[in-house]
Amino acid sequence: MWACKPDYEPDSGGNRVENIPQHPTYSARFAEYIKLDLHAEGSFMITDWKQVSPALFEKLCAAVLQKTGFTNIKWYGEAGSDKGRDIIAERLDTPVPGIQRYEGWMVQCKRYTKSSLSKSELKELLDAALEHKIDSLLIIVTSTVSANLRDWLTTASETYPFKEYIWEELDFRRQVNAHKLELLESIPELAGGKEPLWMYPRNHNEIRLACNEFDEVEIVVTNVDNVEAAKAKATEFLKHLEANGFEWWD
């Protein structure tokens, strides 16, 4: 349960200080503390794909792969475009306990700002992968993939000798956010200004809203009929929280 008038305020180090008298400017100071804490300098990454060049996006993809268990990563950049490859990597697979083997992966990085992955483009990527002796193909896209395209891929995959996987934008963003600080250290050019938190519906039936910066935290909106109404209620709640502060109900 959330309340609006805290009975304490943080000191300069962010520690709880008890028994502070109530006064009119109290909640405003606490709200400002929350704002500064959530928007600390150096913790934001540019994820507006229009501001990220294709080459920088590929570099980010390679760094994310390294953080998620891939090894022997080779990023070809523009030199690899003529062979239909952006990144070649390996990943240790354990098909059964006691048996391990390295699988060869090819990764295609597709940064979209307006369009999305089409059937013809997907087929070109699959055909290009035939030239390489790989076990799996991973396609990373900054968009969503339609249900029809996924159905087509399920059928078409039977004709290719490798497994196919697609990381849609939400999948990729989760991986980026899970390793954000390390990624900013290795790719400082991705450090950006203060961006608004990116909210998205996780479950349309329950109208649960999750946040790109805090994947473990959700806002559950009840008694609404659609996502837009849920977003409006959540926005109203966040503005109220920022203006009034809060306290935990023990």
Whether the predicted pLDDT of 243 surpasses 70: yes
Structure confidence by residue, pLDDT tens digits, 21-46: 333 333 443 333 333 333 344 456 77
16-17 vs 208-211, strand pairing mode: unpaired
Phi, psi of 64 (to 5 degrees): -65, -40
Structure confidence by residue, pLDDT tens digits, 58-113: 999 999 999 999 999 999 875 545 466 799 999 999 888 889 999 999 999 999 98
pLDDT confidence of residue 145: 93
Structure confidence by residue, pLDDT tens digits, 161-216: 999 999 999 899 989 988 988 999 899 988 875 555 566 555 545 788 888 777 78
Angle at 142 between CA 136 and CA 145, to 5 degrees: 70
Q: Which residue has the tokens 């060049």?
A: 53
pLDDT confidence of residue 22: 38
Q: Sign of the CA dihedral 228, 229, 235, 238?
A: negative
Q: Sign of the CA dihedral 130, 133, 135, 139?
A: negative
**Domain limits of the chain?**
49-190, 195-244
pLDDT confidence of residue 42: 47
Token pair for 137: 């193909």
pLDDT confidence of residue 199: 62
The residue among 250 and 156 whose pLDDT is bigger is 156
Contact in structure between 110 and 84 (CB atoms under 8 Å): no
Pick one of 3.40.50.920, 3.30.465.10, 3.40.1350.10, 3.40.50.980 as the CATH number of 49-190.
3.40.1350.10
pLDDT confidence of residue 225: 80
Nearest CA to 171 out of 198, 149, 150, 141 is that of: 141
Structure confidence by residue, pLDDT tens digits, 44-58: 677 789 899 999 999
Amino acid (one-letter) located at 250: D
pLDDT confidence of residue 202: 54
Beta bridge partners of 164: 137
Measured in whole angstroms, how far is the alpha carbon of residue 114 from the centre of its chain? 18
Contact in structure between 178 and 192 (CB atoms under 8 Å): no
Query: Whole-model pTM?
Result: 0.62
| Rg, C-alpha atoms of the chain | 23
pLDDT confidence of residue 201: 58
Q: Which helix (H) or strand (E) covers residue 104, if one does?
A: strand 99-110
